[in-house]
């Protein structure tokens, strides 16, 4: 099932929860998709476009050693971006995109390598949210290998992160949340 911005925002509004977005390769496209929905301001708090690698650390709290060791295109970077923007903007949920849209490989990763992530609200009894690296609450990252040109890769990244958020919201609402699943791979578009 394909989910978009309208469905994610509907679910967030029903739950009385808020969303913040951290973007790299999508450069603001996720935020633009969200604000195109009438009434988005009920749930959408804002976004950070951290295109430069050092901003992922200084603004979003991504671990500098992780960035130095693996670069910006890594599943843990996506998770830390999602948790970091959630914390920085005071939202219940954070989502993030990082990857290589092309035309050249980056950080040893081929064009089309993308990671999208979601970090949800703190779950009762977790001891509180201390730092973006702690990931209190629901968290999931999806690794993608996308085909197409730069624009197609960026569009599919937007669809994927909004779909992942909606799946987590539906799962959280039904009590079927996957909880602290670390990584989910995909076969769509030639996934990992």
Buried (b) or exposed (e) across 100-112, using 16+ Cβ within 10 A?
A: bbbeeebbebebb
| Cα angle: 69, vertex 72, 26; to 5 degrees | 175
Secondary structure class of 110 (helix, strand, coil)? coil
pLDDT of 50 reads 98
CA distances to 86, 99, 187, 192 from 106, rounded to whole Å, are: 26, 8, 22, 17
pLDDT of 176 reads 46
Q: How far is CA 34 from the centre of its chain?
A: 13
Q: Report pLDDT digits (tens) over 100-143.
A: 999 999 989 999 999 999 999 966 444 443 344 444 568 999 99
Secondary structure class of 51 (helix, strand, coil)? coil
Low-confidence ranges of the chain (pLDDT < 70): 1-2, 122-137, 173-192
Please report where in the chains the tokens 């808020």 appear, as a residue. 18
pTM of the model: 0.85
Q: How far is CA 47 from the centre of its chain?
A: 11
Cβ count near 183 (within 10 Å): 15
Find out whether 89 and 46 touch, Cβ atoms under 8 Å. yes
């Amino acid at each position: 099932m394909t989910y978009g911005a309208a469905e994610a925002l509907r679910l967030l509004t029903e739950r009385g929860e808020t969303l913040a977005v951290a973007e790299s390769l999508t450069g603001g496209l996720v935020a633009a998709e969200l604000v195109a929905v009438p009434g988005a301001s009920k749930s959408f708090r804002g976004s950070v476009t951290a295109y430069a690698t050092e901003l992922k650390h200084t603004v979003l709290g991504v671990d500098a050693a992780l960035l130095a060791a693996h670069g910006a295109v890594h599943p843990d970077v996506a998770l830390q971006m999602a948790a970091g923007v959630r914390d920085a903007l005071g939202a219940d949920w954070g989502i993030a995109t990082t990857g290589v849209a092309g035309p050249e490989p980056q950080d040893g990763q081929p064009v089309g390598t993308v990671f999208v992530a979601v970090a949800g609200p703190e779950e009762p009894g977790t001891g509180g949210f201390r730092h973006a690296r702690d990931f209190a609450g629901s968290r999931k990252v999806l690794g993608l290998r996308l085909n197409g040109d730069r624009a197609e890769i960026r569009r599919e990244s937007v669809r994927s992160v909004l779909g992942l958020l909606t799946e987590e919201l539906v799962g959280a609402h039904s009590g079927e949340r996957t909880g602290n699943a670390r990584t989910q791979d995909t076969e769509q578009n030639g996934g990992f």
